[in-house]
């Protein structure tokens, strides 16, 4: 059988570097397009071992030549590339609009031209904003509260209006270990703070979020590549809904002598939503396998490796702010 080829845009990132390894383990040919904005830690190991099924293209998703070169010859495209998160997206609105929306429109056009079999897009559950619905599904009202969610929703519309066979995954907040580690994600930061400082400090606390382990998220993307049933569909992808304060309490129950405190923030985050992932579980039988407790336990064994967890390289906003000369 012909080995199928998959382009992962943003494959050196937090989710992308986990997903690429899963794809390679399933004997797919994987090509990554990435600007390496946060360095090459996500793929350096793959490059070092010269895996014949792995190819890397260093490029910018705003550049039509880079997109044409990357998409040509591929069977599938997974688009993860973006300025991720509200704080990072707000640093430079023009860049965010170009990267998170306009580039997606261009990529879709190129995928149509090359007749890609399926286009899988990483959206976000943040598109639901402040939802009045107790548990919201994919048909629920979208109320994006920030530029990041707004550009993701506009990208969704562009994809749905195209002729390409697509699958859109609205992701919950991810957590867990990755070759391109992040500690600006709430669970990762809280766990690191608990072990390294004995303190977890959070603002608000009553707002709900949905969460998903990065390894489970990677499995969802692969299943959406392989299933006929997902064609031209949108899915929520998360495993649990929790208040921010509940996350802190769960962690403190597993880490000895952790002090919790809350505070008010001048730019309070008004996002508040709980989602159901029943649709993806029913359509492709996706089931999350990892829990928050798994990550806490794993971190406990390697906590000494992360004395530098507050380094800006692990924080999208702090790194981009520093790059702009503001830090």
* Residue carrying structure tokens 């064609």: 231
Q: Are 269 and 244 in contact (CB under 8 A)?
A: no
Overall pTM > 0.85: yes
Least Cα distance to 189 among 47, 39, 311 occurs for 311
**List of residues 6+ apart from 81 with CB closer than 8 A:** 9, 10, 13, 33, 34, 61, 99, 103
Please write the tens of the pLDDT for every residue from 201-238: 887 767 888 999 999 999 999 999 999 999 999 999 99
Is the Cα dihedral 217, 221, 226, 229 positive or negative?
positive
In the prediction, which pLDDT does 326 show? 46
Beta-bridge partner residues of 32: 8, 56
Q: Are 74 and 4 in contact (CB under 8 A)?
A: no
* Residue carrying structure tokens 């798994």: 294
**List of residues 6+ apart from 321 with CB closer than 8 A:** 91, 312, 327
Fold of 5-174+214-237: Rossmann fold (3.40.50)
In the prediction, which pLDDT does 131 show? 77
In the prediction, which pLDDT does 322 show? 79
CA distances, 188 to each of 193, 198, 200, 306 (Å): 9, 14, 11, 11
- Kindly state the DSSP code that residue 102 receives in the 8-state scheme: I
Q: Are 82 and 122 in contact (CB under 8 A)?
A: yes
Domain extent listing, the chain: 5-174+214-237, 176-209+240-274+290-323
Mean pLDDT of residues grouped by 10 in the chain (327 residues)? Answer: 86 98 96 96 92 96 98 98 94 96 98 97 94 84 93 98 97 97 97 96 82 98 95 96 92 92 66 91 96 96 95 96 61
Q: Which CATH class is domain 176-209+240-274+290-323?
A: alpha beta
């Amino acid at each position: 059988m012909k080995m199928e080829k998959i382009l992962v845009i943003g494959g050196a990132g937090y989710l992308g570097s986990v997903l690429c390894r899963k794809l390679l383990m399933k004997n797919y040919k994987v090509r990554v397009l990435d600007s390496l904005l946060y360095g090459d830690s996500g793929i350096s190991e793959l490059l070092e071992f010269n895996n014949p099924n792995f190819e890397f293209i260093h490029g910018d998703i705003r550049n039509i030549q880079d997109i044409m070169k990357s998409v040509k010859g591929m069977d599938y495209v997974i688009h993860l590339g973006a300025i991720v998160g509200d704080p990072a997206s707000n640093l430079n609105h023009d860049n965010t609009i170009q990267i998170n929306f306009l580039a997606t429109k261009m990529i879709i056009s190129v995928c149509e031209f090359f007749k890609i079999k399926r286009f899988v897009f990483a959206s976000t559950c943040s598109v639901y904003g402040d939802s009045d619905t107790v548990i919201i599904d994919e048909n629920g009202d979208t109320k994006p509260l920030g530029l990041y969610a707004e550009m993701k929703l506009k990208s969704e519309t562009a994809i749905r209006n195209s002729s390409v066979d697509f699958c859109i995954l609205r992701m919950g907040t991810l957590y867990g270990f990755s070759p391109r580690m992040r500690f600006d994600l709430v669970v990762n930061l809280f766990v690191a703070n608990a072990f390294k400082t004995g303190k977890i400090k959070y603002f608000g606390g009553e707002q709900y979020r949905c969460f998903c382990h990065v390894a489970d998220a990677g499995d969802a993307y692969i299943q959406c590549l392989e299933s006929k049933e997902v064609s031209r569909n949108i899915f929520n992808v998360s495993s649990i809904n929790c208040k921010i304060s509940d996350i802190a309490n769960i962690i403190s129950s597993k880490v000895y002598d952790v002090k919790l405190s809350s505070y008010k923030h001048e730019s309070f985050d008004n996002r508040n939503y709980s989602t159901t992932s029943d649709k993806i579980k029913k359509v492709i039988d996706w089931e999350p396998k990892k829990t928050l407790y798994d990550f806490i336990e794993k971190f406990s064994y390697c906590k000494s490796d992360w004395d530098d967890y507050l380094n800006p390289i692990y924080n999208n906003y702090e790194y981009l702010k520093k790059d702009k000369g503001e830090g």
